[in-house]
Amino acid sequence: MTRVLAGRIVNGDIGVDDMAPTEQDICAEFDVSKTTAREVIGALASRGLVTVRHGRRMEIRPVSDWNHLDPLLLELKHDPEAVRQTLGDLHDLRMLLEPELAARAALMATDEQLARMRQALERMEDLEADPDSYLEIDVDFHSEIASASGNVVLAFVLDSVRELLRVSRRVTNLINAMPETTVAHRRIYEALLAREPETARQAMRAHLLTVTEVCARGGSGAAIEAVMHQTERKELRRID
């Protein structure tokens, strides 16, 4: 029921100017106890979707106040263009940060970090027929590069959007065959291993550019809609 109410808020069915459901409304609609209704309201508040004041009806918070790093917001959106906008913003962040992180990692990575990247790359080659497992190793590979840059703040910034990055990479994996993606990662790794920062920067940039078109306004919506449906199925158990 939390997911149902959150979906109504995220998709604008209940807006800041609307009367949000009360505890009693939730009890009546979902046939639950007051305790459960309070837990639902608390879950919505913890995600920044509503404001709760003692003795008063909860209030819907403006979109600008929401935590847009929360993957739930993306999971629940029904509008492909809204999803595209979020993925486009995330892609902009990656384009700004990851090529520079790769360049720094080429200078800063330790032998142990490079070894872990090589192991991740080998796992990716083994998992090309298993998109879900491949995606997890993909995320780990990029996280290792961020850590190897030596900048803990930038690495933390990327880690804070780790869940959103999983969605972004589902788009990548639908657009590009997994073997092609593995080749792109191998180019990045080889540049890091050779300690060539500019080559690493350009290899990362080329890799990220493969999804620029689908994230741009007016691009093909097929991959976006496929990811929306796939994410909805896979994340259904994340929240009641």
The pLDDT value given to residue 222? 55
Distances (CA, A) of 180 to 4, 87, 126: 38, 21, 14
Greater confidence (57 vs 148) lies with: 148
Greater confidence (167 vs 90) lies with: 90
* One-letter-per-residue 3-state SS of the chain: CHHHHHHHHHCCCCCCCCCCCCHHHHHHHHCCCHHHHHHHHHHHHHCCCEECCCCCCCEECCHHHCCCCCHHHHHHCCCHHHHHHHHHHHHHHHHHHHHHHHHHHHHHCCHHHHHHHHHHHHHHHHCCCCHHHHHHHHHHHHHHHHHHCCCHHHHHHHHHCHHHHHHHHHHHHHHCCHHHHHHHHHHHHHHHHCCCHHHHHHHHHHHHHCCHHHHCCCCCCHHHHHHHHHHHHHCHHHCC
Range from 98-112, 152-166, 220-234 carrying the lowest mean pLDDT: 220-234
Question: Is pLDDT above 80 for 211?
Answer: no
| pTM assigned to the model | 0.76
Question: Is pLDDT above 50 for 236?
Answer: no
Q: Please list, in sequence order, all residues whose beta carbon lies within 8 angstroms of the beta carbon of residue 125, skipping any fewer than 6 positions away.
A: 182
Percent of the chain scoring above 70 in pLDDT: 84
Range from 5-9, 70-74, 171-175, 222-226 carrying the lowest mean pLDDT: 222-226
The pLDDT value given to residue 237? 45
Strand partners, 59: 51
- Cα pseudo-dihedral 154, 144, 75, 69, rounded to 10: -10
Residue 239 pLDDT level (bands cut at 50, 70, 90): very low
